[in-house]
A and B are shown apart, each in its own frame.
Chain A
């Protein structure tokens, strides 16, 4: 079974700063996907960024980027030039590429961006 661990329950930074959220996972699979989802106070789960394990290049979406270390089973999210609207819960998630394609989530990190 796969497990996803987010070791930072809460983080807080000032607006415009850069912040990195940590995520580690455990799996025996070789082909899989990793995701970061954002859950603002509205409760809506929003996909932030996706990484395919067979791609060595780290995914980037505007101010959001990941540091994917496959051997270390680490998948951190970096938010650059943080904005007040980035305040939310952030969840790291794992999904196998083949077979049961269900998302396995970490416990989440509550991120607060202060003005």
Chain B
């Protein structure tokens, strides 16, 4: 398997624009996580899905952020409108089942909002 695949690797956008980050989890994994990494706040969990259903979205900063998982092989994280303080690295991770503890991370998307 190619691992967790995120796209794009880098994104530069202007303030106010819509940004969509994409993630393809490892085949067979039924838990998916979106994390944000910044120097100030470290790694924060934004939302996680189990069997395509959002389980905990308490980390989503505000209504400008939304995440979807329409099927087991695809998830999106959308920011609309984007702001400079959203600049960060966004990671997607997936895990198989509830007893398998290892989460596999994608290589992240570095988002810069200017």
Instruction: Answer yes or no: do A and B interact.
Output: yes
For residue A45, CB closer than 8 A to chain B, the reply is yes
The interface size of chain B toward A, counting residues with CB under 8 Å, comes to 20
Contact with A along B86-114 (1 / 0, CB 8 A): 00010101010010011101011010000
Q: Which residues of A contact B102 (CB under 8 A)?
A: 47, 50
Contact between A103 and B33 (Cβ–Cβ < 8 Å)? yes
User: A10–B103 Cα gap in the complex (Å)?
Assistant: 25
Q: Once bound together, how far apart are the Cα atoms of A23 and B20, in whole Å?
A: 35
| Contact digits for A18-42, partner B, Cβ 8 Å, 1 yes 0 no | 0000000000000001010000001
Known: A33-B101, A44-B107, A47-B102. A105 touches B43 (CB 8 A): yes
Q: Which of A67-75, A77-85, A94-102 contacts B (4 or more CB under 8 A)?
A: A94-102
Number of interchain pairs (Cβ within 8 Å): 41
Which B residues have a C-beta under 8 Å from some C-beta of A? 31, 33, 42-43, 45, 48, 55-56, 89, 91, 93, 95, 98, 101-103, 105, 107-108, 110
- What are 9 A-B pairs with beta-carbon distances under 8 A? A43-B89, A43-B108, A46-B105, A50-B101, A100-B55, A103-B45, A103-B103, A105-B42, A105-B43
What is the interface of chain A, defined by CB distance below 8 A to chain B?
A: 33, 35, 42-47, 50, 91, 95, 100-108
